Amino acid sequence: MRKIVFALAATLAVTAVTSALAEDKYKACFIYVGSKTDGGWTQAHEVGREYAQEKLGDKVETVALENVPEGPDAERAIERFARSGCGIIFTTSFGFMDPTLAVAAKFPDVKFEHATGYKTAPNVTTYNSRFYEGRYIIGQIAGKMSKTGVAGYIASFPIPEVVMGINGFLHGARSVNPDFKLKVVWVNSWFDAGKEADAAKALIDQGVDIITQHTDSTGPMQVAEERGIKAFGQAFDQIKAGPTAQLTAIEDTWGPYYEKQIKAAMDGTWQGGQSSWDGLKDGILSMAPYTNMPDDVKAMAEETQAKIESGELHPFTGPINKQDGSVWLKEGEVSDDGTLLGMNFYIEGVDDKLPQ
Amino acid sequence: MDIAQNILLTIMTAATPLLIAAIGELVVERSGVLNLGVEGMMVIGAVCGFAATILSGSPWIGMLAAIAAGAVASLLFGVLTLSLAANQVATGLSLTLLGLGLSGMIGESFVGSAGIKLASLDIPVLSDIPLIGRLVFGQDPIFYISLILTGGVAWFLFRTRAGLTLRAIGDNHASAHALGINVLKIRYLAVMFGGACAGLAGAHLSLVYTPQWVENMTAGRGWIALALVVFASWRPWRVLGGAYLFGAVSIGQLHAQALGFGIPSQFLSALPYVATIVVLVIISRDRRLTLMNTPASLGQPFVPDR
């Protein structure tokens, strides 16, 4: 009898030790909509995860699940992570918003971070990057570089994030060329290299000489390179796909944010219900080297970037009219974040009808 | 008028991978085998073609590697469904999943590598003829192969004895077997032809269409090819028409958007699928003819009695 008790006690002790060892490592989990090597959006998050892992070292175990479709599958994937002992879960696509909230309600002790959404909960915080700051800069470059005065914009889905990017780009372009025009083509996909390339060809055939995109592949950049026009990289430096075409790229740098949030989750200072929206000045967003452009355009871009970083310039500063000509922002008026995050209208000069 | 030529070129480039994959699958289905793994074989072809091109420096070697890779992938399907008589639908679907995963693994170190484009034909004088020069004499080699394949398959199926045999097997494998035809051998050949075509279609994506490798770059084109075969009621020239119609509407809707007609883009994006289905269904409305063209033993496993 005594032997049995000893054996049991020993087993218990061993289990306690091993589980304590396992708990030593804090588990941070990531859900990706695309593949880790997409050369764009998801790869930028993966680079961020690797950065956080390296900085935090042995104390943390980071796990990522790639190619998770938006919709019901996402909820299953998030829930599996929550059950498997993840302390904090990052869901890195707009379409994961409702699934994240649904799972968060079931697991109040797990911390959730959702990228680019607008709904929070006591254990859900959102984070985003002020991409429109970069879009404003590339818009200005386009305004200077375009000979035809028309740029082409390859867009994915009509969500506020994308509409905000289109408006930011056009407003930047119009700040240096008031007659600048923008043609928009929606491909209704985040990632289809062939279709994005076709859209780029269609736009070029209709006379645009600068291409920019809010989709994730390097297809359009290749077409630009081949046809000898200029383009901007998306989410990731795409200079390899367009050595003579890329003017610059808006690069996402999530690493420092991930490091900070995982650390906060570990030492108990993490807060739910927050919305973090950082920009160029915080380093969550950066511009790839300005290339393939004259020095004066480069100087202008650098100056604008410096002004945005110092807070001297907010890209959405009036006067700005809506597409129908009505006033959105009066002279000197700056848009509030709420309007930007829910943006569902074009500004004046977009040659497209916004899909509703 | 350069614009018209450019648009037509874009349409043909968009249609070519669909056409090649569909022609291959047509032969497979005419022999009575349903291989739903087109998407998987295509993506394997795309990655192997790209990798071989980078490693060897020659897109021609890449193209051959893609064809071989597609054929090998289809051989796996053949062993399972023909020799082991596994369920064709389930095996085909798994082949697609396998292809998507495996290609991601093979291609991991090639992401972001600068691709080498399979050069387009450039014949002095002829390629510079206005309006049609580049359409007829200035396209990529795979485009010409796709037309030769279509013509060749049409001729083979309906004008040769071997083609008749293949169709007989697809219609009634038991009778064909009773006539002393080696059903499994011919089905193996058909399946591998389909795989080789899917591999070539993949090579078109990673060597001509967008010379790069990214995961899932086929983006559903294998499924469209499969649908084209059915809606074209297993007739090669109709497959060609369907592929070009699909390409034309896909590119046309992008132009309509860029022109800013104000038609909802979601509707325009769905248009290629709707238009192709409607047109092909109307063409094939004669039920008797359709039935005659449908391989009667499609999808049924054949186990020779011993």
Domains, chain A, in order of start with CATH, read 19-130+254-282 (3.40.50.2300), 131-252+284-351 (3.40.50.2300)
User: Cβ neighbours of residue B126 under 8 Å, at least 6 residues apart?
Assistant: B133, B136, B137
Lowest mean pLDDT among A138-152, A297-311, B132-146, B238-252: B132-146
Of B6, B255, B257, the CB nearest to A186: B257
- A219 to chain B: which residues are within 8 Å by CB? 210, 212
Residues in chain A: 356
> Given an 8 Å threshold on Cβ–Cβ distance, is A183 in contact with B217?
no
Q: In this predicted structure, what is the pLDDT of residue B12?
A: 94
Tokens of A165: 């990017």
Chain B residue with the nearest C-alpha to that of A200: B254
Tokens of B31: 């022999």
Mean pLDDT of A259-264: 94
Calpha distance A101→A123 (Å, rounded): 9
DSSP chain B: -HHHHHHHHHHHHHHHHHHHHHHHHHHHHHTT---TTHHHHHHHHHHHHHHHHHHHS-HHHHHHHHHHHHHHHHHHHHIIIIIS---HHHHHHHHHHHHHHHHHHHHGGGTTPPP---PPP--TTGGGSTTTHHHHHSS-HHHHHHHHHHHHHHHHHHHSHHHHHHHHHHH-HHHHHHTT--HHHHHHHHHHHHHHHHHHHHHHIIIIIS-S--TTTTTTHHHHHHHHHHHTTT-HHHHHHHHHHHHHHHHHHHHHHHHT----HHHHHHHHHHHHHHHHHHHT--HHHHHHHS-TTTT-------
Chain B residue with the nearest C-alpha to that of A35: B215
Chain A residue with the nearest C-alpha to that of B17: A194
Taking CA atoms, B36 is separated from A79, B90, B294, in Å, by 31, 8, 17
Residue A32 carries which DSSP code? -
Mean pLDDT of A227-243: 89
> Given an 8 Å threshold on Cβ–Cβ distance, is A37 in contact with B104?
yes
Flag whether residue B210 sits within 8 Å of chain A, measured between CB atoms.
yes
What percentage of chain A reaches a pLDDT higher than 90? 68
> Given an 8 Å threshold on Cβ–Cβ distance, is A205 in contact with B10?
yes
Shortest distance between the Cα of B269 and any Cα of chain A, in A, equals: 7
pLDDT at B306 over 80: no
ipTM above 0.95, yes or no: no
Q: In this predicted structure, what is the pLDDT of residue A164?
A: 94
Q: Token pair 């009695």 is at which residue?
A: B305
Calpha distance A8→A115 (Å, rounded): 47
Calpha distance A167→A155 (Å, rounded): 12
Q: Strands of A305-347 (E only): list them.
A: 320-321, 327-329
> Given an 8 Å threshold on Cβ–Cβ distance, is B10 in contact with A201?
yes
* Contacts of the segment A78-84: beta carbons below 8 A, 24+ positions apart: A78/A31, A78/A103, A79/A103, A79/A106, A79/A107, A81/A29, A81/A31, A82/A106, A82/A107, A82/A110, A84/A27, A84/A29
Q: Pairing between strand A88-91 and A26-31?
A: parallel
Tokens of A306: 């410096």
Tokens of B86: 């596994």
What percentage of chain B reaches a pLDDT higher than 70? 99
Calpha distance A178→A232 (Å, rounded): 21
Of B112, B205, B254, the CB nearest to A39: B112
Flag whether residue B185 sits within 8 Å of chain A, measured between CB atoms.
no
Calpha distance B171→B297 (Å, rounded): 5
Tokens of A191: 């990632």
Q: Token pair 């909802």 is at which residue?
A: B264
Shortest distance between the Cα of B171 and any Cα of chain A, in A, equals: 37
> Given an 8 Å threshold on Cβ–Cβ distance, is B14 in contact with A39?
no
Span between the terminal Cα atoms of chain B, in Å: 66
- When mean pLDDT is compared over B150-164, B244-258, B264-278, the highest value belongs to B150-164
pLDDT at A162 over 60: yes
Tokens of A202: 């269609």
Tokens of B206: 């990673």
- At residue A317 the predicted structure's pLDDT band, cuts being 50, 70 and 90, is very high
Shortest distance between the Cα of B139 and any Cα of chain A, in A, equals: 15
- At residue A23 the predicted structure's pLDDT band, cuts being 50, 70 and 90, is low
What percentage of chain B reaches a pLDDT higher than 90? 67
Chain A residue with the nearest C-alpha to that of B5: A205
- B214 to chain A: which residues are within 8 Å by CB? 35, 37-39, 191, 193, 217-218
Size of interface A-B (CB pairs under 8 A): 120
Identify the burial level of A314 via C-beta atoms within 10 angstroms of its C-beta, where 0-12 means exposed, 13-18 middle and 19 or more buried. middle
Cα–Cα nearest to B144, from B172, B115, B123: B123
Of B104, B211, B214, the CB nearest to A217: B214
Cα–Cα nearest to A251, from A34, A47, A30, A35: A47
Average pLDDT, chain B: 91
Flag whether residue B269 sits within 8 Å of chain A, measured between CB atoms.
yes
- B14 to chain A: which residues are within 8 Å by CB? 194, 198
pLDDT at B167 over 90: yes
3-class state of residue A351 by DSSP: strand
Per the DSSP assignment, residues forming a β-bridge with A278 are A129
Calpha distance B83→B98 (Å, rounded): 20
To the nearest 10°, report the CA torsion of A192, A193, A196, A201.
-150
> Domain ranges in chain B?
2-293
What percentage of chain A reaches a pLDDT higher than 70? 93
Taking CA atoms, B212 is separated from A62, A341, B5, B85, B115, in Å, by 30, 34, 25, 37, 5
Query: Class for domain B2-293, per CATH?
Result: mainly alpha
Shortest distance between the Cα of B251 and any Cα of chain A, in A, equals: 7
Q: In this predicted structure, what is the pLDDT of residue A25?
A: 87
- At residue B134 the predicted structure's pLDDT band, cuts being 50, 70 and 90, is confident
Mean pLDDT of B268-290: 84
pTM: 0.86
pLDDT at A1 over 50: no
Mean pLDDT of A105-134: 93
> Given an 8 Å threshold on Cβ–Cβ distance, is A195 in contact with B219?
yes
Q: Token pair 């920009």 is at which residue?
A: A279
> Given an 8 Å threshold on Cβ–Cβ distance, is B257 in contact with A219?
no
